[in-house]
Structure 1
Amino acid sequence: MPVWDPDRYLQFADSRTRPFLDLIAQVPGAPASIVDLGCGPGHLTRHLRARWPQARILGIDSSAEMIDEAIRSNFDAFASYDAADVTTWQPNGPVDLFVSNAMFQWVPNQLEVIARLLQFVAPGGTFAVQVPNNADSPTHVTLAEVAQQEPFAQHLTHARRLPTTDPALYLEFFADRGYLVDAWETTYLHVLPGADPVFDWISGTGARPYLQALPDDLVAPFTDEVKVRSREAYPTHSWGTPLPFRRTFAVATRP
């Protein structure tokens, strides 16, 4: 289980927030109870509050570091946070809206977990999910290729490459269970500033399991090799480094 760094994750907070706003914009109705699965450092709570001022909000995340930051950073009398593993956690009662932003790609059996949570969706409630769908991009291919080289490979046998999740997968999954589904895909073209910005981006998310599995003396050479390949795959211009990032969305509402 990777240890999450809230400061590193929030380095690109604005770019990581936009997909969440695009997701909740399609959620119908006015949910009275909201559970944010994989809430991270709680920086998205204010957007939920702005959209649904009267809702009770519960943020769940497996990272104690993220939950500590969420509690420190948010002063909301009707929002709370709890550190828990989504694969086993369950709410105390029906929930009007489950929302999850860039979390379920980390769950190996995500459809089984979602299926279990659907039993807690209130009538007329919604399950809204967004996941990256760019596992075939140079960022992830680079991590996987470097991880297969020695001396890194012997330490990274359990490092898991993130999956691709096509919107059609969610459409079929939710529709088969009687939900009304809005599923789509968007490619964001982020323009990143600074030196080695692509590595900075992935170091807060996709690269963390690799970096944390390596002994200290191999972190720097692994990082250097990934940076070199990332510069080749994503050339820098005078105005920044463009990073295409494809994401899958699904908003499924129970009739």
Structure 2
Amino acid sequence: MDDDDSGPAPRPQPQPAPRLQPPREWDAGSYQVVSTPHQGWGAEILDRLPLRGDETVLDLGCGTGRVTAQLLERLPRGRVVGIDGSAAMVAEAQRLLGSDRATFRQADLVAFTVDEPADAALSSATFHWIADHDALFPRIRAALKPGAPFVAQCGGRGNIATVVAAVLAVSAREPFAAALGDWPGPWNFAGPEETRRRLERAGFAVERVWLQDSPKRPQRLREFLRTVSLGSHLECLPQELRDPFLDAVVVQLGPDPVHDYVRLNIVARAG
């Protein structure tokens, strides 16, 4: 039978609109304790950033300054400007590291500006929280001098698939479904192909973009989920449902779960 004889094509069903959220507030004290995996990833991307030691470098999504501290060790004559969307993170980074060589600002990464273009930029474990990468990369390019190196790492396609599946299963149940429903979550786990295209459109010369498996077993799992993975979900729930939701996700994950992290890595230069 020809396809034309099979009747009219089914009408596409409307898809739920993405829930675009501004940068959320974080528990900076808890993050400083539980973010050990992020510190390791930060060290990896620092190894990919060529520096003389006297540059001004942007730390995009600086958090509490764990990676900033490592970066300062490589900049004995330089300085770091840390930018993060969370006021609590910025305050903690300023308390721990603030000086004439390290300054910190609260700003949305799709809207930030700098007084003068920087010599380099890096970002660790941040971009997967940003819905609009088409807006993100041009903003970063505008903040850099021509030829400036840019290295980054974030969650990529397939990241924490077991956690996502557990969260979706619990979110579909009452009493959580009324607030969370079929929301896929706040994450934007992009692949290398579309990321390369976005970077090139933004004016970057891309050296390499790739995915890398990096499984971790977070310590203090419940606190890690509350502080890192599920913060946006908890903000959507009334206060009395937050602990029950968190407990249900922990049970859904099962005993001693491994987070199947997949990292999206970027090495590029401003064109």
Task: Identify the TM-score tier after normalising by the shorter chain.
Answer: 0.7 to 0.9
Tell me how far apart the structure 2 counterparts of residues 245 and 43 of structure 1 sit (CA, whole Å).
20
User: SS at 1:145's partner residue?
Assistant: helix
Tell me how far apart the structure 2 counterparts of residues 178 and 4 of structure 1 sit (CA, whole Å).
31
Q: Is the Cα contact below 8 Å between 1:96 and 1:121 reproduced in 2?
A: yes
Residue identity in the other structure for 1:49: L
Greater strand content: 1
1:251 matched to 2:263? The reply is no
- Structure 1: tracts of 5 or more residues without a match: none
TM-score norm. by structure 2 comes to 0.82
User: SS at 1:184's partner residue?
Assistant: strand
CA offsets per residue over residues 169-202 of structure 1, 9 Å max, x none? Answer: 32333345350422222222324445xx2x4332
2:154 to 131, 139, 144: 131
Tell me how far apart the structure 2 counterparts of residues 33 and 144 of structure 1 sit (CA, whole Å).
42
1:225 matched to 2:244? The reply is no
1:14 maps to: 36
TM-score norm. by structure 1 comes to 0.86
Q: Cα gap change, 1:217/1:14 in structure 2, threshold over 3 Å: closer, same or farther?
A: closer
2:187 maps to: 162
Q: Cα gap change, 1:111/1:171 in structure 2, threshold over 3 Å: closer, same or farther?
A: same
Larger of the two Rg values belongs to structure: 2
Residue identity in the other structure for 1:28: P
User: SS at 1:118's partner residue?
Assistant: helix
1:189 to 207, 215, 238: 215
1:206 maps to: 229
Greater displacement, 168-177 / 63-72: 168-177
RMSD: 2.2
1:65 maps to: 88
Identity of aligned residues (%): 24
Q: Matches of residues 23-102 of structure 1 in structure 2 within 5 Å?
A: 23-30=45-52, 32-102=55-125
